[in-house]
Structure 1
Amino acid sequence: MTADVSVIIPTYNRSAMVLEAVESVLGQTHASFGLIVVDDGSTDGTFEELSRINEQRMRVVRIANGGPAAARNHGVAIANAPMIAFLDSDDLWMPQKLERQLAFMRAHHDCAISQTDEIWMRGGRRVNPGLRHRKRAGDIFVDSLRTCLISPSAMIMRIELFRSLGGFNEIMRAAEDYDLWLRILMNHPVGLLDEALVTRRAGHPGQLSATIPAIDRFRILALTKLLADERLVGERRFATAAVLREKCGIYAGGLTRRGEIARAKFYDNVREGALAWSERPDSELPRAIETMRAMLTNKAAQSVIPSKARNPVSSINA
């Protein structure tokens, strides 16, 4: 019998925390689920610890290290339920999380994605998120440009939606969720079950946001890709271009302070290009995207020849 939801936990070198996350899933009440844990090439015995768990609803797979985007995509590729839910390996679910959220999705047939509220913990102590992080329902695309307002551990979505968008962008070693949520929010409102059914744990060693430098470079790529989509129009397009300009300015400033002048000029040129892209994409936009992708995958040389201000793309010789 097919489960109602496939739960996917990606993990890398978190042998203790992932066992707690798994326990919080297996303790779910009155919910039909299958659990897929994807070990992303751990070297701390995580896979061996997980393999000792004798649970029919749980499957453990091991892949070569490719980052959380690749791990989640692999989990969805082998999932067979009509809905999917993710749980980061450092987070926990309340026992009623799936039961309550599945009931919400059944009651809202037109809802393709929803999430619950969360409890935030940092360094073992409860903290209150700022107002800009407050969860809300409906069309949250513009608000999500500056602040990622969907949490992987709190959401549930219909698997067809995930697959129709191609899943997470595996080039992005960070902010891959920011990228996917924006692509979803372009066309779908988000539902909200206003109950704190997830515990989000931060402030521990190995947290991704503390180990990946300059995460804004991934967000800049996500925003630039959005502007290449001609379906993005009106207020949403202007807002996307405005946030792109902000982030490029900040990131270029940081590169300049570190002496990476050529790259700083490239992002300054992208910042200028966003003025034109706020109206419509042009022939320079795909070149900018490919240059960013090359830099993120280390396929580009260090020297960058900046173009004139109106031509926002700098050439990088591979």
Structure 2
Amino acid sequence: MERNTPLVSVCMPAYNAGEYIADTVKSIIDQSYTNWELIMVNDGSTDDTAAILNQLTDTRIKVFHQENKGPSAASNQAFKLSKGKLIKFMDADDLLSPNYIQNQVSVINDDEDAIAFAAWGRFYNNSLKTFRLDDNFLTKSMKPAEWLIASMTDKQVMLQNAMFLIPRRILEVSGLWNETLSLINDFEFFIRVLLCAHELRFTNDAILYYRSGLAGSVSTTTSAKGAESAYHSVNLGTQYLLQQETSTRVNRIAADCFQRLVYTFYPQHKAVVQKAVLKVKELGGSSIAFPAGGYTKILASVLGWKATQYLKFIFKNRG
């Protein structure tokens, strides 16, 4: 294959994704770039995911079945089975615009120290009619540390799997997914990986359609294990950034990340909340507001955020 058309490996873990996975695979098959392989790891699904994958006939698609080990382990298995010079990790329920891979390959332009990224937006209820592009996303090519700092200042950074195209060489330096993490494992992983590149390059005419609002998805997990994973992922990811720059602005960013954990896990996971509160204090404090809208915002203004979260927790469990 010619130098400007390297093999791209799309590494896709799948767990109980039967309702959406066919559309996701189609968005890969419909890519204008044709030199790709799709490595799909069925991570012990209990729905019809396995049956759907076994019916795929495109020779560029490889399917591997394993017992349930979690998304990080499944992603690592997909990578181990891959052969591409460029790697894209991708969730089994998201979609890519038709020129996505082609334009990311072009922007990397055979530079093994550059990572491509692209625009994204959310859609709901299995309908692209609900899609809205995130217009607050930083669409500028930059040094990784500066991009991360800018993307994390006064807001949550988006580090979604399929957004990035990564040279294999960078992953060999950074290491793969941390298999002890489940909830927000992408936070730790992508900060670590991005900081091993010399440049992040924005890709024009490339959109990630991020499926949101799925009941029971990993991102909605609120188990004790999930809360601990979120804490450790934030702790590791912010440490990587602090190692790049010791400054007031990075301390503030890190403190804000831990404060979001406080808001998210109060009052259900007290141990994680207590650890996060200590981190906020150690880092100099956070001033980010409690995220609320509508009736929740009104209630929080009267009762305070803790009482509001407690009431939401009580009603959720009773419901």
Partner Cα separation in structure 1 for residue 232 and residue 85 of structure 2: 30
Q: State the 1:104 CA deviation.
A: 1.9
User: Which residue does 2:193 correspond to in 1?
Assistant: 184
- Residues 202-250 of structure 1: per-residue CA shift (max 9 Å, x gap): 1233333223458775454234335655842333xx4343233334345
Specify whether residues 213 and 78 from structure 1 end up closer, same or farther in structure 2 by C-alpha distance, changes over 3 A only. Answer: same
Question: Partner of 2:311 in structure 1?
Answer: none
For residues 86 and 270 of structure 1, the distance between their equivalents in structure 2, rounded to whole angstroms, comes to 31
- Distance in 2 (alpha carbons) for counterparts of 1:263 and 1:138: 34
1:263 & 1:118 partners in 2: Cα distance? Answer: 31
* From 210, 222, 235, the counterpart of 2:233: 222
TM-score w.r.t. the length of structure 2 is 0.73
Change (3 A) 1:109 1:244: closer
Amino acid at match of 2:236: K
Equivalent position amino acid for 2:66 in 1: I
* Residue type of the alignment partner of 2:209: T
Aligned twin of 2:20: 17
Displacement after TM superposition at 1:258 (Å): 4.3
Cα distance in structure 2, aligned partners of 1:148 and 1:222: 14
Q: Determine the structure 2 residue equivalent to 1:299.
A: none
User: Aligned partners of 1:250, 1:102: CA distance in 2, in Å?
Assistant: 35
Q: State percent identity of aligned pairs.
A: 20
Runs of 5+ consecutive residues of structure 2 not aligned to the other structure: 285-319
Deviating beyond 6 angstroms after TM superposition, the runs of 4 or more aligned structure 1 residues are none
1:164 paired to 2:173: yes
Say yes or no: does 1:234 pair with 2:246. yes
Alpha carbons 1:92, 1:200 under 8 Å: kept: yes
Q: In 2 relative to 1, CA 141–47 (structure 1 residues): closer, same or farther, beyond 3 Å?
A: same
Equivalent position SS for 2:20: helix
Query: 2 CA distance for matches of 1:126 and 1:101?
Result: 25
What secondary structure sits across from 1:168 in the alignment?
A: coil
CA distance in 1, matches of 2:182, 2:211: 20
Q: Report whether the alignment pairs 1:27 with 2:51.
A: no
Worse-superposed segment, 56-65 or 27-36: 27-36
Kindly report which structure 2 residues correspond to 1:61-76, keeping only aligned pairs within 5 A, or say none: 61-76=64-79
Secondary structure of the corresponding residue to residue 244 of structure 2: coil
- CA–CA distance in 2 between the matches of 1:150 and 1:135? 13
1:42: how far off? 0.3
Total equivalences in the alignment? 272
TM-score w.r.t. the length of structure 1 is 0.74
Counterpart residue identity of residue 233, structure 1 = E
Gap regions ≥5 residues in structure 1: 276-318
Residue number in structure 1 paired with 2:163: 154
**Cα distance in 2, alignment partners of residues 53 and 255 from structure 1:** 41
**What letter is aligned with 2:200?**
V
Answer yes or no: is 1:41 the counterpart of 2:53: no
Give the Cα separation in 2 of the matches to 1:80 and 1:204: 32
Give the structure 2 partner of residue 298 of structure 1: none
Change (3 A) 1:272 1:194: same
Distance 1:52 1:254, change over 3 A: closer
Matched letter for residue 239 of structure 1 = R
Q: Could you report, residue by residue, the CA deviation over 1:19-38 in whole angstroms, capped at 9, with x for unpaired residues?
A: 11112212222421111011
Distance verdict in 2 for CA 1:271–1:50, change over 3 Å: same
Q: How does 1:250-269 map to 2 (within 5 A)?
A: 251-252=261-262, 257-258=267-268, 260=270, 264-269=273-278
Q: Which residue pairs with 2:108 in the alignment?
A: 105
Structure 1 CA distance for aligned equivalents of residues 92 and 253 of structure 2: 30
Instruction: Tell me the distance in 2 between the aligned counterparts of 1:195 and 1:248.
Output: 34
Alpha-carbon distance, 1:56 to partner: 1.2
Query: 1:263 Cα deviation (Å)?
Result: 5.0
Tell me what 1:57 maps to.
60
Q: CA deviation at 1:5?
A: 0.9
For residue 8 of structure 1, give the secondary structure of its aligned residue in structure 2: strand
- CA distance, structure 2, for counterparts of residue 259 and residue 101 of structure 1: 40
Shift in Å, 1:119 = 4.3
